């Protein structure tokens, strides 16, 4: 049975992104400052919300090697959920061109996400939207398989001007051997020390001066930190 476009929505986003490494004290101070000038994501709550992603890669680790080598034109494919009992899953492909990122997403069912985890790419052929079909071809041609499961907690702040979104990610954990995206208690290992946090600033066109000045006041240094690359620690340490 094919699923039509209304049942399998797709989305394309093209944006710029800069990152900063923080500690938990800086996260607390920055969160308070952002509350005064931006809108909080409705899911923030007290401790932020859960994000869990399962990344795919080729058997030759193509995407990982390209990230480590700093190749400007590269991609990542992932499944993403915000709740382990979710019945709908985001299937995303992210392409990076220098500082610009293009992300295309399609919504698929929990059942079909499990099919992809088992490398049954044909599960995507029932979806008629272009993103799902395109990702099917990429997965099929490159013979990808699950590579790393990453989980963290996020607080997000939003401003409508230039579609600005600032996210603060903490408690980053991962596994390169455990790929059960939907388990309630995944077996994961901390990627960084307890106090580590990552801020990501995403925007269209250009970053507003008032926000650039606000971030400059804290003296944060820009970073190329990648949760994906750092979560591939076991592979990097013992195979490279």
Q: What is the pLDDT of residues 103-138, one digit of tens each?
A: 999 999 999 999 999 999 999 999 998 999 999 999
Q: Cα(205)–Cα(154) distance, rounded to whole angstroms?
A: 24
Residue 57 · residue 147 · CB < 8 Å: yes
Answer whether residue 1 shows pLDDT above 50. no
- Please write the tens of the pLDDT for every residue from 169-200: 999 999 999 999 999 999 999 999 999 999 99
Whole-number average pLDDT of the chain: 89
Stretch 205-230: mean pLDDT, rounded? 87
The answer to whether residues 149 and 24 touch, using CB atoms and an 8 Å cutoff, is no
pLDDT for res 10: 65
What are the tokens at 220?
């944060």
Which has the closest alpha carbon to 10: 134, 139, 136, 104?
104
Per-residue confidence at 76, pLDDT binned at 50, 70, 90?
Answer: very high
- Give dist(CA 149, CA 64) in Å, integer: 14
pLDDT of 6 reads: 44
Q: What is the pLDDT of residue 96?
A: 81
Task: List the structure tokens of 228.
Answer: 């994906």
Query: Which pLDDT band holds residue 14 (cuts at 50, 70, 90)?
Result: confident
On whether the CB atoms of residues 44 and 166 are closer than 8 A, the answer is no
Calculate mean pLDDT across residues 219-230.
88
Say how far apart CA 75 and CA 25 lie, in whole Å: 33
pTM of the model: 0.90
Task: State the CATH number of the domain containing residue 132.
Answer: 3.20.100.30
Per-residue pLDDT at 73: 83
Residue 17 host element (H or E):
strand 10-23
Higher pLDDT, 6 or 31: 31
* CA–CA distance, 155 with 109 (Å, rounded to integer): 26
Residue 183 and residue 84 in contact, taking contact as beta carbons nearer than 8 Å = yes
SS3 at position 3: strand
Which DSSP state fits 37?
T
Q: Confidence class of residue 72 from pLDDT cuts 50, 70 and 90? A: confident
State residue 2's pLDDT score.
Answer: 47
- What is residue 230's predicted lDDT score, i.e. its pLDDT? 92
Percent of the chain predicted with pLDDT > 70: 91
- Residue 97: its pLDDT value, please? 76
Assigned token pair, 182: 């939907």
pLDDT band at 99 (very low <50, low <70, confident <90, very high): low
In 3D space, the residue among 235, 208, 217, 240 whose CA is nearest the CA of residue 16 turns out to be 208
pLDDT tens, position by position, 18-60: 999 999 999 999 999 999 999 999 999 888 999 999 999 999 9
Token pair for 233: 């620690």
Its domain, for residue 144, covers 5-238
Measure the CA–CA gap between 128 and 210, rounded to whole angstroms: 43
Checking if the pLDDT of 234 tops 50, the result is yes
Entry field: residues in the chain: 240
* Number of domains forming the structure of the chain: 1
Count of helices and strands (H, E) across the chain: 7, 11
Asked whether the beta carbons of 96 and 73 are under 8 A apart, the reply is: yes
């Amino acid at each position: 049975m094919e699923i039509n476009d209304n049942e399998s929505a797709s989305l394309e986003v093209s944006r710029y992104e800069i990152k900063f490494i923080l500690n938990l004290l800086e996260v607390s101070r920055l969160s308070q400052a952002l509350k005064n000038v931006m809108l909080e994501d409705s899911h923030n709550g007290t401790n932020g919300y859960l994000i869990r992603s399962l990344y795919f890669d080729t058997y030759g680790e193509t995407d990982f090697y390209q990230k480590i080598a700093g190749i400007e034109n590269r991609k990542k494919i992932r499944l993403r959920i915000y709740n382990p009992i979710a019945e709908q899953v985001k299937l995303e492909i992210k392409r990076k061109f220098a500082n610009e990122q293009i992300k295309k997403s399609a919504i698929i069912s929990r059942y079909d996400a499990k099919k992809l985890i088992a490398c049954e790419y044909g599960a995507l052929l029932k979806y008629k939207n272009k993103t799902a079909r395109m990702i099917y071809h990429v997965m099929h041609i490159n013979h990808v398989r699950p590579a790393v499961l990453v989980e963290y907690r996020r607080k997000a702040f939003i401003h409508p001007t230039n579609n600005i979104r600032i996210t603060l990610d903490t408690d980053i954990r991962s596994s390169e051997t455990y790929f059960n995206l939907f388990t309630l208690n995944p077996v994961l290992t901390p990627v960084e020390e307890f106090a580590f946090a990552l801020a990501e600033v995403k925007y269209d066109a250009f970053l507003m001066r008032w926000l650039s000045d606000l971030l400059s006041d804290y003296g944060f240094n820009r970073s190329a930190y990648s949760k994906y690359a750092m979560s591939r620690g076991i592979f990097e340490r013992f195979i490279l």
